[in-house]
Amino acid sequence: MSTAARVLVIEDAEAIGAAVSSALRDAGYQVQVRPDGRDLEGELARFRPDLVVLDVMLPGRDGFVLLEVIRRTSGAGVVMLTARDGVSDRLRGLDRGADDYVVKPFVLAELVARVSAVLRRLGRTPSTVQIGDLVVDADSAVVLRGDATVELTATELRLLRYLAAQRGRVVGKTQILTAVWGYEDYDPNLVEVHVSALRRKLEEHGPRLLHTVRGLGYVLRAEDS
């Protein structure tokens, strides 16, 4: 049985729901998507989400009403989405128990980072990942190989966190661009440059962990995996 955190996405815009669910799955989460809050009570009982990504403007019961349902019946974290940028709407959601608030349009990488941060605060996902002798601590932003600290830039750290979440899986350049930079239309050479820099720093302290799979992408795994 998977131990990945479960995220329920309630979003009536099909394209946004698909993009959010894809980004969250790429980050290693189990995801369910619903276009509205019909039978939310049943879905909470069946899926038992650790977190709900909740749009405010929904058909039927709106996000503020659904937030009250979640707070009455579940201990799930809540990250709210809205096209509204008014401070009053944000405060309304936070006052009613939302854990975070993201205003549309948003960068997928930022939303995934906020979801991950809420899950860590709630203790629903491990903050430390180990691959061979590599330890990545997401909470403290510390990276170790054995006893040596690996100094990374902010972008390299985001890249490593993503690869660590996908450990053992081959991920393509487009997936990496979307998850780390938030867009698919950047120059793929951007990925190559940062992967090369990250690989070089990791290999200063041990054998290769970040592998290139020709024609497919990259994978983070120990040599004996």
To the nearest whole percent, how much of the chain has pLDDT over 70? 91
- Tell whether the model's pLDDT for residue 221 goes beyond 60: yes
In angstroms, rounded to a whole number, what is the distance separating the alpha carbons of residues 169 and 163?
A: 8
- Tell whether the model's pLDDT for residue 225 goes beyond 60: no
Condensed to tens digits (0 to 9), the pLDDT of residues 43-89 reads 999 999 999 999 998 999 999 999 999 999 999 999 999 876 666 66
Domain 6-122, what fold?
Rossmann fold (3.40.50)
Residue ranges per domain, the chain? 6-122, 128-220
Predicted local confidence at residue 2, as pLDDT = 46
Q: Which residues contact 149 (CB under 8 A, 6 or more apart)?
A: 142, 143
In angstroms, rounded to a whole number, what is the distance separating the alpha carbons of residues 30 and 57?
A: 24
Predicted local confidence at residue 97, as pLDDT = 85
- Residue 103 burial (10 A CB sphere; 0-12, 13-18, 19+): middle
Q: How confident is the model at residue 165 (pLDDT cuts 50, 70, 90)?
A: confident
The answer to whether 70 and 78 are in contact (CB under 8 A) is: yes
| More confidently predicted of 138 and 59 | 59
Same fold, 6-122 and 128-220: no
Predicted local confidence at residue 184, as pLDDT = 61
Predicted local confidence at residue 87, as pLDDT = 64
Condensed to tens digits (0 to 9), the pLDDT of residues 181-197 reads 876 666 778 999 999 99
To the nearest whole percent, how much of the chain has pLDDT over 90? 52
Nearest Cα residue to 129 out of 25, 221, 26: 221
Type of residue at 150? V
Domain 128-220, what fold?
Arc Repressor Mutant, subunit A (1.10.10)
pTM: 0.64
Q: How many helices (H) and strands (E) does the chain have?
A: 8, 11
- Tell whether the model's pLDDT for residue 127 goes beyond 90: no
